[in-house]
Amino acid sequence: MKPQIAVVGSVNVDLVFKTPRMPVPGETLMGHSFQQIHGGKGANQAVAAARMGAAVALIACVGDDVNGQSCLQALGQDHIDLQNVRRTKDCATGVAGILLDDGGENCIVLATGANALLDPSDIGRAASTIAQAKLLLCQLETPLDTVIAAIRSARQAGVKVVLNPAPARPLSDEVFACVDYLVVNETEAALLSGLTTVDLSNANEAAARLQQRGAKVVLITLGALGMWVRSTDDSYCLPARKVEVVDTTAAGDTFVGSLAVAIAEGMELRAACMFAQSAAALAVTKFGAQTSIPYRDEVERFFTMS
């Protein structure tokens, strides 16, 4: 049977400008191209989990507009349960402006739109969906009180929680204590651990601090350096898979969604992380957010390559 995963998070339309480099303040720069692509961390992670083989239910809010309709149609094509996605006339669907340079790096400006209207009452209405899930997956592109309500709902139902605290913001120890798997990048790890910077040299220290705050398993993604994994009884580095980078957009979301499925299927932690790394590595070889997220068969082939 497919593992059931509930995702609480954002739904956006990505406006992607390909550019030779990042502009400096006050500069008008001629770009290569423009595309409009479906995105949002919640939606991206839901799509990744669905393409890895999970039965995914999304809890979100979109505008009652063309963008919202387009996003829902795309999510439906991945067979994601959308009964807990509320459409509102009070605000437009979220939009992200993305600059992507020739090196594959990106800068993002987010207008949260309807994502900001997702509230604890939406979580209350979706309580049975969360309770029936094997795992709850959350990020921070929706209001923090809503995310906390979802985590508490999962906790009360005995459902494991994966939290990807992005974009980074301060969190209480109460939140950390409810998190089974905390997935952060270098920037997020630094903010939440109190260290000035986090890299391979001090990733274990940062992970230990986050465990002290209550998180059970901490995973710090370090880009080309790989990732650091710290569980209750082990700590180690996993090197990154080597690929040609086209676009890093949604690589982190692909990792998180794929990791959630591997965990829900009962995969051992090291193997789950390597599986998710393989999915993320494939994602950076393609352009866009949801357009870059691979399918399970692609990942399994890549995962087993020596």
Residue 154: what pLDDT? 98
> Among 19-23, 56-60, 77-81, 247-251, whose mean pLDDT is lowest?
247-251
Write the pLDDT tens digit of every residue in 42-81: 999 999 999 999 999 999 999 999 999 999 999 999 999 9
* Spatial separation of the C-alpha atoms in residues 299 and 233, rounded to whole Å: 28
pLDDT level of residue 109 (50, 70, 90 thresholds): confident
Confidence (pLDDT) at 136: 98
pLDDT reading at 26 higher than 80 = yes
- Give one DSSP letter per residue of the chain, joined into a string: -PPEEEEE---EEEEEEE-SSPPPTT-----SEEEEEEE-HHHHHHHHHHHTT-EEEEEEEEESSHHHHHHHHHHHHTT-EEEEEEEESSSPPEEEEEEE-TTS-EEEEEE-GGGGG--HHHHHHTHHHHHH-SEEEE-SSS-HHHHHHHHHHHHHHT-EEEE---S-----HHHHHT-SEEEEEHHHHHHHH--S---TTTHHHHHHHHHHTT-SEEEEE-GGG-EEEE-SS-EEEEPPPP---S--TTHHHHHHHHHHHHHHTT--HHHHHHHHHHHHHHHTTSSSSGGGPPPHHHHHHHHT--
- Of 102, 122, 253, 297, which is the active-site residue? 253
For 19-47, what is the mean pLDDT?
A: 94
In this prediction, residue 289 carries a pLDDT of 79
Active-site residue 253, yes or no? yes
Model confidence at 115: pLDDT above 70: yes
Architecture category of domain 8-22+31-303 in CATH: 3-Layer(aba) Sandwich (3.40)
Sheet harboring 12-18: ordered strands across? 33-39, 12-18, 94-100, 106-111
Percent of the chain topping pLDDT 90: 86
pLDDT for position 100:
86
Q: pLDDT-derived band of residue 164, with 50, 70 and 90 as boundaries?
A: very high
pLDDT band at 250 (very low <50, low <70, confident <90, very high): confident
Q: Over 90: is that where the pLDDT of 303 sits? A: no
Q: And the tokens for 69?
A: 């309709």
The pLDDT, as a whole number, for residue 98 is 86
| Residue 306, pLDDT above cutoff 60 | no
Count of CB atoms situated within 10 Å of the CB of 262: 24
The structural domains of the chain, with segments of one domain joined by +, span 8-22+31-303
Q: What is the dihedral of CA 133, 168, 101, 248, to 10 degrees?
A: -30
d(CA 248, CA 254): 10
In contact, 277 and 252? CB cutoff 8 Å: no
Q: Report the pLDDT averaged over residues 210-237.
A: 96
Alpha-carbon span 111 to 59, nearest angstrom: 19
Annotated binding site for substrate: 12-14, 40-44, 141, 253
Query: In this predicted structure, what is the pLDDT of residue 223?
Result: 87
This prediction has a pTM of 0.93
Residue 248 burial (10 A CB sphere; 0-12, 13-18, 19+): middle
The predicted model gives 216-220 an average pLDDT of 98
pLDDT over threshold 70, residue 134: yes
**In the predicted model, is pLDDT for residue 288 greater than 80?**
no
Task: Look over the chain and give the mean of its residue pLDDT values, rounded to a whole number.
Answer: 94
Find the range with the poorest average confidence among 69-83, 96-110, 177-191, 210-224: 96-110
- Backbone φ and ψ of 57, nearest 5°: -115, 130
